[in-house]
């Protein structure tokens, strides 16, 4: 059951990315490119996605997930170096290629060699990240 | 142009409904980098199969839809070195920050999480600077 609903959620997420144009790296770069031909689409996608999510967060109050367990508690709200540094590194790569993790998987079947190189290097970065994090924390 | 923002809003709605299902039914936050990254680095524990199912859906449905709506393209640059560097930055950065556009952006900000807002400000800011540097100044993408 958990797998089935995870599969449905993943599928809808991918369909939404395709429909909204967020698997098109030009549209993402267009949003970030304030000195070029600026494309506001990403703001509409974020807005469209946050509305159902905000309602969902409201529904979680005083309830438990349908398949059991507990809802994820709000994490520690401390803003640390890893959050800021990680987001800067992520943003730099996001601008450079115009892809983030979700769309890179959703567009894999039609992303050609570039899409494959992106996923492989992203997975490599994800694999190396825990080592980098422990180095940073020790420093 | 008008059609593009309507499609953006509709597609965004689908993404939000996906996140709502994952939250209300499975009790999980729909963050792509956490789902993929924890499977990669082996920290997903007893959630591994659930996360692999999520990734399978994320890959399969757009693939099927792209056959139906006609050929698609992600229009990524031809510069494979730039792509490889970008992939590493995205992989390392999202894991260090514990989230990306879906986790911090959509799920975090919609529950008014300070960390979600801070992350989003920094990755959009860095993305804008990255475009200025790599597109307008260096011309590599």
Write the secondary structure of B25-74 as one string of H (helix), E (strand) and C (coil): CCCCCCCHHHHHHHHHHCCCHHHHHHHHHHHHHHHHHHHHHHHHHCCCCC
Verify whether the Cβ–Cβ distance B106 to A89 is below 8 Å: no
Mean pLDDT value across residues A47-66: 97
On whether the CB atoms of residues B50 and A2 are closer than 8 A, the answer is: yes
How many domains is chain A built from? Answer: 1
Task: Write out chain A residues lying below 8 Å of B107, CB-based.
Answer: 53
Specify the residue for token string 């959620």: A9
Identify the segments of chain B with pLDDT beneath 70: 1
Task: Render B76-89 in DSSP notation, one character per residue.
Answer: --S-HHHHHHHHHH
**C-alpha to C-alpha distance for B82 and B13, rounded to whole angstroms:** 32
DSSP-derived letter for residue B9 is H
Tell me which residue in B69, B86, B114 faces A97 most closely, judged by beta carbons: B86
Specify the residue for token string 């989230």: B99
DSSP-derived letter for residue A108 is G
Task: Write out chain A residues lying below 8 Å of B127, CB-based.
Answer: 32, 91-92, 94-95
**Per-window interface: A 12-51 vs B, CB < 8 A:** 12-26, 29, 32-36, 39-42, 44-51
Task: Render B101-140 in DSSP notation, one character per residue.
Answer: IIIIIIIIHHTT-HHHHHHHHHHHHHHHHHHIIIIIIS--
The number of beta carbons lying within 10 Å of the beta carbon of residue B56 is: 16
pLDDT at A34 over 70: yes
The C-alpha R_g of chain B, in whole angstroms, comes to: 17
Q: Is B23 on the interface with A (CB under 8 A)?
A: yes
Tell me which residue in B20, B82, B114 faces A79 most closely, judged by beta carbons: B114
| A-B contacts at Cβ under 8 angstroms | 481
In a 3-state reduction of DSSP, which class is residue B100? coil
Length of chain B: 141
Domain range for A99 is: 2-138
Mean pLDDT value across residues A12-25: 96
- What was the pLDDT predicted at B70? 75
Which percentage of chain A shows pLDDT scores above 70?
100
Tell me which residue in B8, B65, B95 faces A21 most closely, judged by beta carbons: B8
Dig out the tokens for B101 from the structure.
């556009």
**C-alpha to C-alpha distance for A22 and A2, rounded to whole angstroms:** 27
pLDDT tens column, B71-105 = 788 889 999 999 999 999 999 999 999 999 999 99
- What was the pLDDT predicted at B1? 59
pLDDT at A94 over 70: yes
pLDDT at A76 over 70: yes
CA A85 vs. chain centroid, Å, equals 17
Q: Is B68 on the interface with A (CB under 8 A)?
A: no
């Amino acid at each position: 059951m958990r797998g089935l609903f995870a599969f449905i959620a993943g599928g809808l997420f991918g369909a939404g990315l395709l429909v909204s144009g967020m698997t098109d790296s030009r549209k993402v770069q267009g949003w970030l490119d304030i000195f070029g031909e600026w494309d506001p689409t990403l703001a509409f996608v974020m807005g469209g996605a946050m509305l159902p999510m905000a309602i969902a967060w409201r529904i979680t109050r005083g309830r438990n997930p349908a398949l059991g367990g507990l809802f994820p508690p709000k994490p520690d709200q401390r803003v640390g170096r890893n959050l800021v540094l990680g987001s800067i590194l992520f943003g730099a790569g996001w601008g450079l290629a115009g892809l983030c993790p979700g769309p890179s998987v959703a567009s894999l079947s039609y992303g050609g060699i570039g899409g494959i190189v992106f996923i492989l290097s992203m997975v490599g970065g994800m694999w190396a990240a825990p080592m980098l994090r422990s180095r940073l924390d020790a420093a | 142009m008008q059609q593009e923002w309507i499609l953006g809003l509709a597609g965004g709605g689908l993404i939000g409904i996906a996140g709502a299902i994952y939250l209300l039914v499975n009790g999980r936050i729909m963050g792509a980098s956490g789902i993929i990254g924890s499977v990669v680095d082996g920290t997903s524990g007893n959630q591994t199969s659930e996360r692999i199912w999520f990734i399978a859906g994320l890959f399969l449905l757009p693939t099927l839809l792209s056959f139906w709506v006609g050929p698609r393209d992600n229009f990524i640059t031809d510069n494979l070195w730039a792509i490889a560097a970008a992939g590493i930055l995205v992989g390392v950065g999202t894991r260090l920050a514990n989230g990306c556009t879906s986790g911090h952006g959509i799920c975090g900000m919609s529950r008014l999480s300070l960390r979600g807002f801070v992350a989003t400000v920094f990755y959009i800011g860095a993305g804008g600077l990255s475009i200025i540097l790599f597109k307008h100044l260096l011309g590599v993408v």
